[in-house]
Structure 1
């Protein structure tokens, strides 16, 4: 509720516009989440260009027209999928933590988690390269994302510096750029040859060179919590009522 409630409502007069029942909001949110999960799977398996809206729709039991009720185009769905992926990643990395070292540990946890989802990693790597073209639908997304991540990782390294744990000569901004470049480069090498590198360990080794006493204390708990969250979400999705195609098309 906002502070701009109308006078008629404050006096008890029924508002002229009917509000959507809360249950319908929840159902719509569940449907959008199911679509995003399915789209992430389809794009990860087939690539963005080859992955079709029809296949995404079929995985959630609706028609393509029903899907377009929630996402007006394939480009809009792609951007929502990328945001969805970022939301999942933020469950492992909290850049708001006062202890910058904890945020860096979160990045290692993310690298370890990414080793379990090669299709998603491949999708991200492919899209980030393609999106260097200003005409790509995800160009603005990746420009903004890199800017945001650089700022967040820089702030984490700055908090490490403020605590006296950053190695002499290490600049927080340059360390952030190097960290992002390392993570992206490791993903490409790992996709080409999974046996060539352990992404999480390579990242942790880099942090040990930049942060005094860096260790992975608590990282298993972070990953266990992520697994538990994923299991609970899956269970909720399995019991959620997903509207059929006709409901999506007429809403």
Structure 2
């Protein structure tokens, strides 16, 4: 018999509480994506779940804590697609293409990102620090990936890693916004793959397109 044990799923009231938390997160994601954090109300979220305002606050404490939980839940759904720390530059780009392929299957995630990102340019917004840290970290990871590609001899001549990292980050955000406005006119994954192919010279890169 294997020494490994299967993690037990919550049962009884614990399972019910987990299911309710998930239902609240789904509703909050939709409400914040549609109306933003400030205009999206606990009352609207509660109505969509079919509980009282107090019921929402029982599980998450306050509105800003609910927002933090929504952002964490969003990350949990995307993180398995991302490259592992220490992966090659090419592996990093491939991971971002997996995210680009996933986004159209969950339009609420893209809408949430774009709505909260615009709101959080205000330093008083509860998600401001989250997005500042996220952009600093992602830009650093992209910079490292492009430097790795350069060290492996794959970065095309004349491409500056610093500019490539900033342009990639801007492109990813812009593509999500364009896709939300006109889904039939924009293919997020193909456009991002073309961007990488223009910057990185590697024999197996066409497989990413």
TM-score (norm 2): 0.80
Tell me the distance in 2 between the aligned counterparts of 1:84 and 1:150: 22
Cα distance, 1:71 vs structure 2? 1.9
C-alpha separation between the residues in 1 aligned to 2:16 and 2:117? 32
Shift of 1:33: 4.0
Matched ranges for 1:60-209 at <5 A: 60=49, 62-209=51-198
**Which residue does the alignment assign to 1:18?**
none
Q: Residue in 2 aligned with 1:215?
A: 206
Higher mean C-alpha displacement, 165-174 vs 176-185: 165-174
The 1-side partners of 2:207 and 2:41 are apart by 41
Q: In the TM superposition, what is the alpha-carbon distance from 1:104 to its structure 2 partner?
A: 0.7
Cα distance in 2 for partners of 1:95, 1:155 equals 13
Distance in structure 2 (CA, Å) of the matches to 1:207 and 1:216: 12
Q: Which has the higher helix share?
A: 2
Aligned to 1:230: none
Equivalent residue of 2:40, what SS? coil
Structure 1: distance between partners of 2:185 and 2:141: 29
Question: SS state of the match for residue 131, structure 2?
Answer: helix
The structural deviation recorded for 1:29 is: 5.5
1:50-65 paired onto structure 2 within 5 Å: 50-60=39-49, 62-65=51-54
Q: Which moved more, 1:33-42 or 1:181-190?
A: 33-42
- CA 1:167 to 1:57, structure 2 compared with 1: closer, same or farther past 3 Å? same
Matched, 1:36 2:21: no
Q: Quick one: structure 1 residues 47 and 216, their matched pair in 2 at CA, closer, same or farther if it must change by over 3 Å?
A: farther
Q: CA deviation at 1:127?
A: 1.5
Q: Over aligned residues, Cα RMSD in angstroms?
A: 2.6
Deviations 1:90-122 (A, max 9, x none): 121124252221221111121121122333312
Unaligned stretches of 5+ residues in structure 2? 1-9
